[in-house]
Amino acid sequence: ASEDHKEYLKHALHIARTAGQTILAAFNTRSSLHIDLKNDNDADLVTQVDRSVEAAIFSYLRAQYPSHRFVGEEGTAASGDTNTGIVANDETPTWVVDPVDGTTNFVHGFPFVAVSIAVVIRGTPVVGVVYNPIMNEMFQGLLNGGSSMNDIALPLPPVRPLKSLASALVATEYGSDRGSEVLDAKFAALRDVVGSPARGVRSLGSASLTMCYVARGALDAYWEAGVHAWDVAGATVILREAGGLVSNWSKPDSSAAEPYDICARNVVCVRKTAEELHAKAILESIRTTLRPVGYTRD
């Protein structure tokens, strides 16, 4: 891993821990939360904590790296411009931040809540930190430098054998979009994967943590349509460094070998297996089951 990337990771860890203290304090005293609906949608929430944590993270990072770019969930939502500007030929390091991933969990007191911080260069996440301050789980990953949870290398041992979907614990999410076309596509995908059959299905309510649980080996696979770059950027490097595979599924004719586009609004991933061909086969069997959901690229 490059020295620059190591320094980015150091700052990301520091500010994630600081943000985590704010999130934990607010989680424990939820009565004073100020909650707003995004686009008048009861399934898409934002709180004052999301906004203030994002502002604090960016103010710290901007002071360290004034020439870098900064993309955050709440700033992007407030500006109404969903184009992140993240493209494959951009050399400028871009910090991609979700201050509270799992806002609905946060509001309801369900403890899968994380701050996610990534550095993306040329469209590829090179540093990722996903911190759940409620459960005190710190996931970190560095391109070509490995990944860990609370300083233990991922995946956590013992790594269970996994040869096919039939013995897999999988995860997906319904997202915040309640349009019937989108829901039909998601439920059809869920039906097909679970009927394949998969052993069990979970929904944790935080895309970044779900990917980290795949990296950890507690979940075997995960897919979702509707995710944004800030939900998946940090966890992508953590999962890859843990030997997992991550891919897009919006283009049925595309190859799983194409580099994962964090802005494409979808994800499918599988954890490390003893033999990679098993992970590849599981990834492919999920990808071919999924029907495209037409979201505009971030």
Contacts with ligand IPD, residue ranges (CB under 6 A): 73, 98, 101-103, 173, 175, 205-207, 224, 226-227, 231
Shortest spacing between CB 159 and ligand IPD, in angstroms: 25
Provide the terminal-to-terminal Cα distance of the chain, rounded to the nearest Å. Answer: 28
CA dihedral 27, 175, 149, 146 (to 10 degrees): -140
Shortest spacing between CB 241 and ligand IPD, in angstroms: 21
Query: How many degrees, rounded to 5, is the angle at CA 126 between CA 145 and CA 212?
Result: 75
Shortest spacing between CB 280 and ligand IPD, in angstroms: 25
The DSSP call for residue 210 is: H
Question: Which lies closer to ligand IPD via its Cβ, residue 124 or residue 210?
Answer: 210
Burial class (CB in 10 A: 0-12, 13-18, 19+), 185: middle
Question: Which lies closer to ligand IPD via its Cβ, residue 61 or residue 115?
Answer: 115
Question: Which lies closer to ligand IPD via its Cβ, residue 224 or residue 298?
Answer: 224
Shortest spacing between CB 177 and ligand IPD, in angstroms: 9
Note whether 127 and 9 are within 8 A (CB): yes
Question: Which lies closer to ligand IPD via its Cβ, residue 50 or residue 241?
Answer: 50
Shortest spacing between CB 230 and ligand IPD, in angstroms: 7
Question: Which lies closer to ligand IPD via its Cβ, residue 101 or residue 261?
Answer: 101
Question: Which lies closer to ligand IPD via its Cβ, residue 102 or residue 217?
Answer: 102
Question: Which lies closer to ligand IPD via its Cβ, residue 76 or residue 206?
Answer: 206
Shortest spacing between CB 290 and ligand IPD, in angstroms: 15
Shortest spacing between CB 187 and ligand IPD, in angstroms: 14
Structure tokens that stand for 6 in this block: 């190591």
Question: Which lies closer to ligand IPD via its Cβ, residue 162 or residue 170?
Answer: 170
Structure tokens that stand for 133 in this block: 């301050």
Shortest spacing between CB 44 and ligand IPD, in angstroms: 7
